Structure 1
């Protein structure tokens, strides 16, 4: 555990074997809901403590109800342990004012040791082409009366995010219709990226729905992340695309690349959108 705000806010405390207490911070909210990538990192940290392997290789979450800032409990269960991989499941729950328990998300994950993987890479994937950081734009670059979205956007203060101008038409009232979002990503306090923060990175950019001309909250239904390597120091590049919006749902496919041009994480999520 480091002293970064991300580390403090994803910390879990073991109450009993397999059961962990967490305190979901209001600092990672958007439109009054706790960000899904941050929630996955909280559960991911609990599973890293519960399982014999340190790194998430694949982690899938179903978001059942919107989470609120405040106390939460993560219950984990070890499904299988092996030499190279261990598999576990977890549920994050919160309690209503009347004491009723509500499950927020349920996770199934396989963990291993990224440092033990061979160096061989054979890929046709190519990193996204982004303008230099100084030619990209973040929340601080917008006019004061246009910053943020209705409700809380506290998460923006904890991210270092510079978006490709080609995917910012929505901010000017001229969405491109391409369903793409690209940008440079890091944590605002300079904490280096690691496998746990990659779970946040895949869900930290504005929704691709904005570039499709839609507005409002885009809640995640399901999110699966594949962590492929431990990122080297330096800013990350994140590219997200949507190819199909139908029936009020869309998919978002994300790639995260480190400063050594390595594909360090991939994800796909299904999200609900509000149609006009």
Structure 2
């Protein structure tokens, strides 16, 4: 469970917009914000953070270790209901909790529509111990001040989504040729990422961060947004304060679908989250 009371003052836009309130056992309410929209629909990473917060409030362990979500229909701003169901709950330090969650909204006629269905495993990141053996290395990128932000976008280019105003996003110049009509074809996007209001990253915001960059399909020459079909995230460590480095790659676009693999590195050069999503081209 979260240590903060539900009526505690909320100073962060992200915390306010992902807030949930229990209504009854296994049912929580949320007010989805239009500030995280990509066009008419809400961003999949933002929705995952809302589900992640609801699961944290419903389980004895505080941190998402792994979460996989299927996006069934496009979510819109407004009231939503999250229904959680524990699958397995452990008590020892080495044991984790697993639960499912469904995000539901109602249409103008009052009909119930399921938007997202997720399965997650939670634990305590601070209780993890053991040495790190990895061949992964943080991406080489120019410092943030030498990268491109939304304010540098040429007029008449790709429209800036509403969600971008919630973020301080600095794109690596080597991976944003698509913004000038010159995609590289490599399927790579890299950027520095922080929340615009200065809130430091944590495990819940990592669930949003994996889906916060422009899609790699842009670097393959695709136009328009690419709706997420399924997304899985592994949170590996609690991130250190400071901006995140996010790297996204796509290796295979086929039969109208592409995969997008993501890595998030914190300011201490640790790989704190990994993701894979399937999107429709």
Contact 1:139–1:148, Cα closer than 8 Å, also in 2: no
Of 98, 104, 125 in structure 2, the residue corresponding to residue 93 of structure 1 is: 104
Q: Distance in 2 between matches of 1:38 and 1:220?
A: 12
Runs of 5+ consecutive residues of structure 1 not aligned to the other structure:
none
Deviation at 1:32, TM superposition (A): 1.2
- 1:3 maps to 2:11: yes
Partner of 2:146: 135
Alignment of 1:14-163 (within 5 A): 14-82=22-90, 83=92, 84-146=95-157, 148-149=159-160, 153-163=161-171
Deviation at 1:147, TM superposition (A): 6.0
Q: Distance in 2 between matches of 1:40 and 1:74?
A: 11
Q: Distance in 2 between matches of 1:169 and 1:6?
A: 30
Q: Distance in 1 between matches of 2:196 and 2:238?
A: 20
Q: Distance in 2 between matches of 1:217 and 1:268?
A: 17
Q: Distance in 2 between matches of 1:161 and 1:69?
A: 23
| CA offsets 1:120-145 (integer angstroms, 9 cap, x no match) | 21111000111111110010112344
SS of the aligned residue for 1:237 comes to: strand
SS of the aligned residue for 1:146 comes to: coil
Deviation at 1:119, TM superposition (A): 4.7
Q: Distance in 2 between matches of 1:245 and 1:143?
A: 28
SS of the aligned residue for 2:218 comes to: helix
Q: Distance in 2 between matches of 1:253 and 1:140?
A: 27
Runs of 5+ consecutive residues of structure 2 not aligned to the other structure:
5-9
Structure 1 runs (4+) greater than 3 angstroms displaced: 143-147
TM-score when scaled to structure 2?
0.94
Q: Distance in 1 between matches of 2:256 and 2:226?
A: 10
Partner of 2:7: none
SS of the aligned residue for 2:49 comes to: helix
Aligned residues: 270
Partner of 2:199: 191
Q: Distance in 2 between matches of 1:187 and 1:220?
A: 22
Of 170, 185, 189 in structure 2, the residue corresponding to residue 177 of structure 1 is: 185
RMSD over aligned Cα atoms: 1.0
Q: Distance in 1 between matches of 2:59 and 2:255?
A: 39
Q: Distance in 2 between matches of 1:71 and 1:180?
A: 35
Partner of 1:269: 277
Q: Distance in 1 between matches of 2:225 and 2:60?
A: 37
Partner of 1:228: 236
